[in-house]
Every structure is written in structure tokens, then in C-alpha cells.
Amino acid sequence: MFQYVLKRLLSTLPVLIGISLLLFFMLRMLPGDPAQVLAGQMASQEDIQSIRQQLGFDKPIFVQFGLFLSRLIRFDLGRSARTQNPVLEEIGSRLPNTVLLAVAAITLACLFGIPAGIISAVRRYTWIDYLFTSMALFGISMPVFWLGLMLVVVFSVLLKWLPAGGTGSFKHIILPSFTLAAFVVAFITRMTRASMMEALSQDYITTARSKGLKEQMVIIKHALKNALIPIITVVGLQFGLLLGGAVLTETVFAWPGMGRLIVDSILARDYPVIQGAILIFGLLYILVNLVVDLIYAYIDPRIRYDGRK
Amino acid sequence: MEKMVRFMKAFLFVLMFIVGISFMTLYPVHAQIPELKIGIGIDADTLNPQEQTTTLVQNMCDLIYDTLFYQTPDGKLEPRLATGYKASKDGLSYTITLQKGVKFSDGTPFDAKAVKLTLDRALDPKLRVPLRFAIAMIKEVKVIDDHTLQIDLKYPFAPFVPTLSLTICSPISPAAIEKYGEEVRQNPVGAGPYILKEWVKGDRIVMVRNENYYGKKPTVARLTFKIIPETATREAMLRTGQIDVCYKPLPSNVASLKADPNVTVEMPLSTRTIFMGLNYQKGVTQNKLVRQAFNYAVDKRAICSKILFDTAVPMNGPVSSILFGYHKMAHQYEYNPEKAKELLKKANFDFSKTVNMRTPQGRYLFDQQVSEAVQAYLQAIGVKTELRTYDWPTYVAGLLKPIQETELEVFLLGWGPLILDADMGLYGQFHSSTNPPKGLGAAHYNNPEYDKLMDASRLEQDPKKRLEILKKASEMVWDDCPWIWLHVEKFVIAYSKKIKGMVVTSTEKFYPTYIRME
Amino acid sequence: MDSSKPQRSLIWIKFKRNRAALFGSFLILIYLAVALLAPVLFPGNPSAPNLMKSLERPSLKHPLGTDELGRSILGRILYGSRISLLIAIGVVCVGLLVGVPLGLISGYYGGKIDFVIQRVTDTLLAFPGFLLALALVAVLGVGLKNTIVSVGISMVPIYIRLVRGCTLGVREQTYVEAARAMGTRNGIILIRHILPNVLTPITIQTSLGMGTAILFAAGLGFLGIGVQPPTPEWGAMLGSGRAYLFNAPHVATFPGIAIFLAVLGFNLSGDGLRDILDPRFK
């Protein structure tokens, strides 16, 4: 098990190096000079040049990349060009917010999506199936930012029940997590429905039924257990989508998370922060998928740690 | 009967007098305000006043450090950490006297050496000081004695003393610099009315009263700056009383805030002008008639009222009316599309050509909408235009290209002088030495006669004569129209009606130091 | 494998029976009609402002009200359908043109080239798609063309994965091996024998991809880095309506509904197609 985890982690290294390589050169292609942004619009050329030197942006790009990599190995992501704080500190103050939002949204989505999917599969082609499947479809067809704004209009502007944005209390997380959940719930409902339908048509279900087991038992104990793997895969895959959606949701609700950090940093040409934040995003994504794989093995002992069925 | 009335009047007068006196004596007891909560939109990045360009954070620095001089909202200079100054006849040397017996909040004595250290740091090319250009005239700072300083200038600069009221010149405790080095940005130590108590990144900045402050004791014991990025939330929190002050509410909501009986909205005119630069040296806008036509074509009043909800006023001179050296121009470019078309015809304007417009997005109040409106007005007189938006870094890079490379034709920009003097507007945007890439006078205005006037204005020590020169210069540039003169922004701040005596300045700062609560 | 006539009509019958798919194609039809007929439905310039009429509530003259510059929101939504359609088609073209050949090559040839393409795909897939598009737009600059290219590239890895997977399955089929044994050139095998067999998943993905493309582009517009003003792009309209949420909520409401209906149309049709064509989901 430990060996497997280690192997998996090592195999993600090329991807991470790939990401940093791509990022590094892509960012250097951005128009606009970070030193100019930092110096302010009225700064003199000498001042801009001195800032460029301080930040190391005057060195040849390959030297810059070498320095970046050598620091990366020491887990040093550098300092933000904008605030001069260590990038890890900047990310550290934002990451918990995004994780909180993502976990809340995934939980909400599972709480609705899995039961809805099961009910749809069991009562297929009835009105309730149509209701749930169309609700799920609405979820993916709706722009998250629009849904967010509409929720603000209803719950903050008209009813004045919930805050329109920011953090601080439990109330603050309701609207953003609901918005983000609406975006993911569709995938979970549909995958649950599809895999439950497949599971329910299997022979062992018929056997179980013929043994006279209660239908509820059959569904939950036998069918759901077998349908869980694809569902968990989808939840894991949704995580990436969720992080992307978080960029927009965080903007709408002024949620101080990673998404906003990245957008703000792109707009301010804060290279070290963009690099660091996206690397951490990539790492998170990879870790989540690793956890998903481990859960597989836990649920289905047929899957070995060598990753093959 | 008449006697009676007179008696009553006298009685009332005496009564009011007594009540007034007793209130005044009672007042210091009531004046103690335990905490003031201020809702702001962004976190501070650095509390080193020399690194700061964001007005809001400079404002915080002012509360911690205090400045040498202070420019009141009506433009008068008040002594603060400095007590007075004397200028030499040639305007090249200033002697500044300092407060005696003052200590920084860490106990370090405040003296001429500390001020020299501060100013030397501000001038040190190795340190990041974005606003260094504002004190670029300083040649050398000399310590005469413990409380006297001599500052020599490279060239005469009439508004030099107001310059010393800038946040960038705030004295920093030498002991703190020694102790923290560049990390002083996280550990600010000054001689101001407040001390940084707590800084929770992304959430709040808390300051407490400096009990050893040399000036009058501040009335508020604790200032909490709460970071609430979403403007609408900030407004809602002010209305529900969760915060006492809301920094910069949305222009579109100012009217409804004003209608709220528990809220005071103050919006003094700012120093910042918003304009459409017109390339003076290249393209269709080289022609003065075309530039004037563009000015007639745009309904600036409609832009101010409809897009900016009256949080701006149309420009009627080349700088904000609150600056020393401002003159209202006798001739105004009132909205007149017919006249604009006529002028274009006279200029043999090529209507088949597409004029390129560019605008930043989210930098100034509704900047993109303003640009779209201008675009529509230009199209209405038959000028084909194409508008492009840019994020700020890309935009600035485009502005700073020298005339040979620049692609600028018509572009939106804002300019906000830091001191209440027209020099930074009239010199900083229109003197040919500020043409890019050296400065941000991106309209590339180049008029030798104008340059001569502005150079003379800097030499002139007599304020009256200086006003005359600035008036001439204003008229010249107003007639030349290197900009479409759009509007002057207002600085909007809303706070609880209970608060009295808030100081709100045109440089977009506010000081709650001596407020009263009713 | 040619689809014979009876098979085609069978698909059509199934499609007609699938009410959701029918509704989806109905939405797409309306959307196409609006895009085509926008100048007829809304004579006049949708981008011409009239400041005196700004932020008016819906009325007979302006059924959906006016925006902050006094432009009819209805007119802008109608014209906006052309922009979003252009983006959707453009994005899918970029995705197909780059993704399908790479997926085919990667799946058919295997070996080193497969390894390289797959590692690059892995790398790209580790970015959340929207972030990738965002970063690309920041590099390329804003504008219609760049929006299309950025969103398109962010979708390429999905096509590569999909096509490679299907190609792997088809590669070992007897008729492919027969063709190979007969000495048919690889290029011809790819186009004649393999491509037709991966068309089904590509078609489904394309319909769903059009929806995603519209959403991504609108997201960029919302953040203010999409197409240029005064182009009536739905996401940008929504984004600028945000400032007036409290005093004129209609400005942000209607463009959102337009995006929703268009995306819903593509998603419903895509789903319907999958139900009909993909046996796994029958």
C-alpha cells in the first residue's frame, strides 16, 4: 500500500514538472511588465529597472527558470511580486477557504445527487425520474456566475436573509456553496442513475431478489455498493471542474479563495503567485485522484494497488 | 409685552449659553469612543509608507506615522511633525524646523536624523519607492541640529512644502528600520496618533490609540479596518450598523444611501480627472480642429449623470477645481454635435478611416462604460471607431511606448495629483518632458511655448504671479485639446449619521482621529 | 462500416421518441433562427447607446428593458446569439481540428508518440479547463478570435482522450487488420476505417462541447476578458449588469437566461444522441 502510494506520487512528478514548465514560459509571454505594474504609473524608468533587478526579471529566461526550479525543489515558491510576502503564505491564507467551499459544495451535491440518482434509476421513466434528470441538466446548463447573482438578488437583495458575499460566518458559505454545488450535482446525479441502472440489471440482483430480500436492502446493499465506483470516480473528476468553477463563484461572492487569487494575480502580472497557485491546484487535483483510487481499493478488493482490475 | 419678548429672548440666550457650556465641559467624557469599525475593499499589501501607492493604505499609514506637514481640505498647510519652514531666495534650499520632545511609538526620539534617514531611504535607488518621482527635486538632506533640517533642491520647485505633506515623506522610526529591515512593511512604527495592533491578512487591520501621541489625544480608542471586498455587502453592513464607515460605496447606490436616515454620504470633489487622451503628434488627432470637434461631440453632462450617477462633474478647466492654480475656462466645449461635424468638415476629416480607441477596464469608476459612451458619441458624428479593452498591465505598457512606436489614437486615462497644486496636473501630463517613455503624458502634447510657461511657474515664488502663469498655461492647453476633457471624480464615503467631525479630503483620504459620536 | 438507410431511419424514429432530445433540438433551432434573423427581428443598431434612456425597466418599447447605456437588452441578446454561435462553432472546430488527429495518431501508432501526446494531455488535464482558458486569454489578449482559440485549446485534451480511447478499441478489429495485411497505407486506414467508427462519440462530445464553449466564453466575458465592447456578448452583458444588481436587476437577469437556454439546447440534444447512439446507456 505504502509502496503504491509512493509510486503513484512519483509518477505524478513529470506532470507537475510539465505544468511548471508550461506555466513558466506561458507567463513570460504575457504582455505587460510586472515591474511597471509594481512601480506605479508615474514611476521613472530607473525605478522600474531597479525593481526588475530586485525581482530577477532582468536575467535571461532560462536562468530564471533554473532558479525557479532549484527553489521549487526546496519547496520555496518565492515571494509575491505584489506584496513581497512568501507565496506559500499568500496561498496558505486562501487555500483553506477554497477547500472549505469545495468540500461544502461536493457534500451538498452528493447529499442531493446520489439519492436523486438512485430514485431516478429505481423509478425510471416516471415523472420523478424526469424531474430529477431535468433538474440535473438545468444545473450544468446554467452559468454559475448567473445563478450566483440570481441567488444574491433573491436572498440578499429582496429577502435580506443571507449576506451577498464575504466570509466570516456559517451564513456566508450558504450561497456560494449552493451555487457551486448546482454546477456539480448534475454529473453526480447522472452518473449515479446510469451506474445504478446497470447494477440493477445484473444477475446477482435478480438472485438477491429471488432470495426474497427486501427491495430496499437489494438496492442499498447490493446495487449501490457496486455502483459506487463510477460515482466516486465522477466525484473525483468533478474536483477539477469545481476548482475552475470556484474562480467564477469566488468572484461573484467575493470569497477570498484561490480562484480570486489567481485571477487577481494574472491581472497584476504577479508571476510567482500565479505559478505557485496553479502548481498547488495541480497537486491538489492529483492528490484527490489518488485518494479516489485508494477508496476504490477499499470498496472493491478486486482492485489491486497495481491499479489494474 | 415687548419687554416681555425681549426678556424671553435674553433668557433663552442665557439658557442656550449655559446648556452650550455644560455640553462643552461634558463633551470630553462622552467623546471617548471605544471602537470605530471601517469597512474597506482591499487588504493592505505593505504598511511601509514609501512603498505604498494605494490611497487607502497611504491613509492608514498617515494614521500610524503622521506627516511633516498636513494639507487641509481647503489647501492650507498645517504644521505636524514639522513646525515651520524657510525658503532661500533662489528657491533651492529649504530650512525645516521640527517638533521637540516627540517620540516614536517605540520610544525612539524623533529628531532631524530620523527625518534624514527617512528621506534618504525614499531617495535610495536600491529601494522600491513607486512615487519617488514626486520628490525627485530633492538633492540633499542635511542635519543642522537635533531639530533643524536643511533640504537642498536640484531645481526650484514652488510647491515643495506641500510635497512634504505626502505620505512618502512620513518619518519612520530609525530603531524599527534597524530592527526589522525591509520587514518594516509588516511592522510599522511611526509617531502618529495610532499604533498597529493586529493585522489578520485578508480579514482586518486593527489600530489602537498611541497614548504618547504628541498632538491632541485622539477620540477613538480603537480603529478596526474590516476587509469586505464586495461593495454591496459593505453598504448593507453600514445600513445594519455592523460597521460605522463604508469606504467608497458603488456610485449606482449613492442615491439610495443618501435617502437612508441613518447614513451620511460625503463626496468631496477629488483631484482626479478622467479624460480621453488624443494623440497630439500622430494620426487623425494631430489636427487641432479634429481634437476640438471631438470635445464638442461628447455630452459630458450626460456621462456624469447617467453613467456615473453624479459622482463626477464635467471638467471646466484642465485640472480639478480644488487645486491651487485652477481656473475656470471662459470658453466651454458644450455638447454640440452639429458644430463638431462642421469642424470635422473644415478639417477635411477622412470619414472612411477607423479611429482606434482603447480603454482600461475596472481601473476607474465605470471606465469601460464611459469609453463606450464616448465611442457612441463619436460614431454619432460620423467617425468610425473601434474600441478595445485591456487589463491594466497591458494597458500601461501600451501607453508608455515612445511616439515612434505608439499606436495610441484615442485612449481613456485618469490622473490624480497627490497634492492640491495644479503643477502635477499641468506639468505632469502636458510638459513635453513627460511624454512617454519618460512620463505618462501619453497624449504626447508637445508645445514649446507651453513648456516655457510651465518651467517659469516652477521658478516663481510669488503665489500671485504663479497663478497668473498657470492661468495662461491652462488656457493654452485648453484651447489645444490634447484630451477630450471628460470629468473630475468625487471621493465617496458613507458613514453612520452619529459620527460628526469626520475629516474627508480631496486627495481621497479620511481621518476619523477627532470625530464625535452623537 | 457504412450506415445503411434502414439504420438511419431507425435512429430518427428513436430520436423522435426521445422528448428531451426533441426539445433540445427545438431550442437549437430557435437559437439558429434568432442568430440568422437578428437584423429582421431587431431593426436598428443594438450597440447604439442612448444615455437618456439608461437602466429602464422592461416596457412595451423595450420588452427586456435597457442597460446602463440605454441600449435595448432584447436587441443585444438577439445579436448576441450570433456572437455565441460563432464562438461555439469556432471553439469546437479548434477542438476537433487539433484534438481528433492527435487522438487518432496517439491511439493508432502507440509507442513513443503516444507517450509524448499522453503526457502533454495529462498535463493539460491537470489544469481545470476554465483556468487554462483564462490563462491563455491573458497571454493572447482579449478579443473574439483569441477567446475562440483559448477556449478551443482548453478543450483539445478532452477530444484527444476520447478519440484515442475509441481508436484503441477499433485498432484491433479484424477489418482494420485485414486492411493492414493488404498493405493499405496507415493514413488511408485512419481515414477510411478508423475515423468513421469514432464519429459517434465525437458527435456526442461536439454537441456537449458547444454548450461548454458557450459557458466558458460567457465566463471569460463575465470576468471582463472576453470579446471587445460594444460587442453584445452575453457573458460580458451579465458582467456589467452586476453593478446594477440592486437598482436594476433585469440587466443581469436576461442575458443569463439566454445563455441557459442555448446551453440547455446543446446539452439535451447531446444527451439524447448519447442515449440513442451509445449502447452502453440504452
CATH number for the domain spanning B369: value is 3.10.105.10
Contact A244 C271 (CB under 8 A): no
- What is the reported pLDDT for B243? 92
Please provide residue B115's backbone torsions phi and psi, each rounded to the nearest 5 degrees: -65, -40
Range of the domain at B246: 194-268+492-517
**Confidence check: pLDDT of B133 > 50:** yes
- What is the reported pLDDT for B309? 93
Any idea how long chain C is?
Answer: 282
Flag whether C253 is in a domain: yes
**From B26-30, B176-180, B379-383, the region with the lowest mean pLDDT:** B26-30
pLDDT band of C79, cuts 50, 70, 90: very high
- What is the reported pLDDT for B3? 62
Report, as an integer, the average pLDDT of C73-91.
94
User: What are the cell numbers at A165?
Assistant: 458575499
Q: Which residues contact C186 (CB under 8 A, 6 or more apart)?
A: C108, C109
Work out the minimum CA distance from A306 to partner chain B, whole angstroms: 44
- Tell me, yes or no, whether B320 and B238 share the same domain: no
**From A146-160, A237-251, C249-263, the region with the lowest mean pLDDT:** A237-251
3-state SS string for B51-68: CCCCHHHHHHHHHHHCCC
- What is the reported pLDDT for B22? 52
Chain B partners within 8 Å of C68 (Cβ): 306-307, 366, 369
Chain A partners within 8 Å of C119 (Cβ): 14-15, 18
C243, A153, A91, C144: which is closest to B252 by C-alpha? C243
Sign of CA dihedral A9, A11, A17, A19: negative
Whether C138 and chain A come into contact, CB under 8 Å, resolves to yes
Contact criterion met (CB below 8 Å) for C54 and C67: yes
Flag whether B227 is in a domain: yes
pLDDT band of C1, cuts 50, 70, 90: very low
Flag whether B223 is in a domain: yes
Instruction: Name the residue facing C51 among B302, B386, B391 (closest C-beta).
Output: B302
Whether C29 and chain A come into contact, CB under 8 Å, resolves to no
Report how many domains make up chain C.
1
User: What are the cell numbers at C46?
Assistant: 443594438
**From A8-12, B162-166, C91-95, C250-254, the region with the lowest mean pLDDT:** A8-12
Instruction: Name the residue facing A18 among C123, C129, C281 (closest C-beta).
Output: C123
- What is the reported pLDDT for C78? 94
- Chains B and C form CB pairs within 8 A to the count of 67
**Confidence check: pLDDT of C110 > 90:** no
Contact A143 C222 (CB under 8 A): yes
Flag whether C15 is in a domain: no
**Confidence check: pLDDT of C278 > 70:** no
DSSP result, B187-229 = S---SSSEEEEEEETTTEEEEEE-TT-SSSPPSBSEEEEEE--
- What is the reported pLDDT for C244? 86
Contact C126 A282 (CB under 8 A): yes
Please give the mean pLDDT across all residues of chain B.
90
Flag whether B3 is in a domain: no
Q: d(Cα C182, Cα C186) in Å, to the nearest integer?
A: 11
**Confidence check: pLDDT of B459 > 60:** yes
For residue B25, how many other CB atoms are within 10 A of its CB? 9
For residue B465, how many other CB atoms are within 10 A of its CB? 12
* Residue in C closest to A18 by C-alpha: C123
**Confidence check: pLDDT of B24 > 60:** no
Contact criterion met (CB below 8 Å) for B277 and B410: yes
Range of the domain at C175: 73-281
**Angle ∠(C231,C236,C237) on CA atoms, nearest 5:** 85
Flag whether C137 is in a domain: yes
pLDDT band of C281, cuts 50, 70, 90: very low
For a pLDDT cut of 70, what percent of chain C falls above it?
A: 95
Residues 149-208 of A with CB under 8 A from C: 149-150, 152-153, 157, 194
Burial B327-351 (b: 16+ CB within 10 A, else e): bebeeebebebebbbebbeebebee
E strands, A114-267, where? none
Contact criterion met (CB below 8 Å) for C122 and C209: no
Host H or E run for residue C269: helix C250-277
Contact criterion met (CB below 8 Å) for B419 and A55: no
Choose the most confident range, by mean pLDDT, from A9-13, A188-192, C145-149, C172-176.
Answer: C145-149
- Tell me, yes or no, whether B123 and B250 share the same domain: no
Contact B389 C51 (CB under 8 A): no
Report, as an integer, the average pLDDT of B377-394.
88
Chain B partners within 8 Å of C141 (Cβ): 390, 394
Q: Which residues contact B319 (CB under 8 A, 6 or more apart)?
A: B271, B273, B325, B326, B417, B422, B425, B426, B474
The residue type of B143 is V
- Tell me, yes or no, whether B159 and B218 share the same domain: no
Please provide residue B185's backbone torsions phi and psi, each rounded to the nearest 5 degrees: -65, -25
- Tell me, yes or no, whether B428 and B302 share the same domain: yes
pLDDT band of B12, cuts 50, 70, 90: low
Q: d(Cα B422, Cα B432) in Å, to the nearest integer?
A: 16
**DSSP character for C153?**
H
B224, B211, B182: which is closest to B60 by C-alpha? B224
pLDDT band of B18, cuts 50, 70, 90: low
Q: Which of A131, A141, A155, A251 to mutate to test the interface with C (most CBs of C within 10 A)?
A: A141
Q: Which of B50, B154, B392 to mutate to test the interface with A (most CBs of A within 10 A)?
A: B392
**DSSP helix/strand/coil, B500:** strand
Q: d(Cα A294, Cα A309) in Å, to the nearest integer?
A: 13
Chain A partners within 8 Å of C235 (Cβ): 143, 145
Predicted ipTM of the assembly: 0.83
- Tell me, yes or no, whether B332 and B342 share the same domain: yes
Q: d(Cα B32, Cα B515) in Å, to the nearest integer?
A: 10
CATH number at residue C158: 1.10.3720.10
Report how many domains make up chain B.
3
Q: d(Cα C228, Cα C219) in Å, to the nearest integer?
A: 14
Whether B361 and chain A come into contact, CB under 8 Å, resolves to no
**DSSP helix/strand/coil, B135:** helix
Q: Which of C31, C131, C156 to mutate to test the interface with A (most CBs of A within 10 A)?
A: C131
Neighbours of chain A (3+ CB pairs under 8 A): B, C
The residue type of B201 is K
Please give the mean pLDDT across all residues of chain C.
86
Flag whether C255 is in a domain: yes
Contact A254 B134 (CB under 8 A): no
Flag whether C198 is in a domain: yes
Residues A271-308 have pLDDT tens digits of 888 888 888 877 887 788 778 777 777 776 655 444 44
DSSP result, A245-287 = HHHHHHHHHT--SHHHHHHHHHHHT-HHHHHHHHHHHHHHHHH
- Tell me, yes or no, whether B207 and B275 share the same domain: no
Residues A138-178 have pLDDT tens digits of 888 899 889 988 888 888 777 878 877 667 678 888 899 99
Q: d(Cα B47, Cα B60) in Å, to the nearest integer?
A: 8
Contact B361 C224 (CB under 8 A): yes
pTM as predicted: 0.81
CATH number at residue B80: 3.90.76.10
For a pLDDT cut of 90, what percent of chain A falls above it?
A: 3
Q: d(Cα C125, Cα C153) in Å, to the nearest integer?
A: 11
Flag whether C53 is in a domain: no
Q: d(Cα C124, Cα B492) in Å, to the nearest integer?
A: 45
Q: Which of B114, B147, B175 is the last residue of a domain?
A: B175
Instruction: Name the residue facing B306 among C54, C224, C225 (closest C-beta).
Output: C54
Contact A244 C131 (CB under 8 A): yes
Sign of CA dihedral B179, B181, B185, B188: positive
Flag whether B12 is in a domain: no
Q: Between B207 and C49, where is the model more confident? A: B207
Flag whether C28 is in a domain: no
Contact C229 B232 (CB under 8 A): no
The domains located in chain A, with CATH, are 95-259 (1.10.3720.10)
For a pLDDT cut of 90, what percent of chain C falls above it?
A: 34
Report, as an integer, the average pLDDT of A25-41.
70
Any idea how long chain A is?
Answer: 309
**Confidence check: pLDDT of A215 > 80:** no
Flag whether B283 is in a domain: yes
DSSP result, A40-67 = -TT--HHHHHHHHHHHTTTS-HHHHHHH
* Residue in A closest to B44 by C-alpha: A83
- Tell me, yes or no, whether B299 and B421 share the same domain: yes
- Tell me, yes or no, whether B355 and B367 share the same domain: yes
Flag whether C24 is in a domain: no
Choose the most confident range, by mean pLDDT, from B442-451, C11-20, C61-70.
Answer: B442-451
- Tell me, yes or no, whether B211 and B291 share the same domain: no
- Tell me, yes or no, whether B92 and B171 share the same domain: yes
Work out the minimum CA distance from B257 to partner chain C, whole angstroms: 12
pLDDT band of B6, cuts 50, 70, 90: low
Contact B369 C240 (CB under 8 A): yes
Contact A143 C242 (CB under 8 A): no
Choose the most confident range, by mean pLDDT, from A29-43, A138-152, B497-511, C267-281.
Answer: B497-511
Flag whether B356 is in a domain: yes
Contact criterion met (CB below 8 Å) for B117 and B130: no
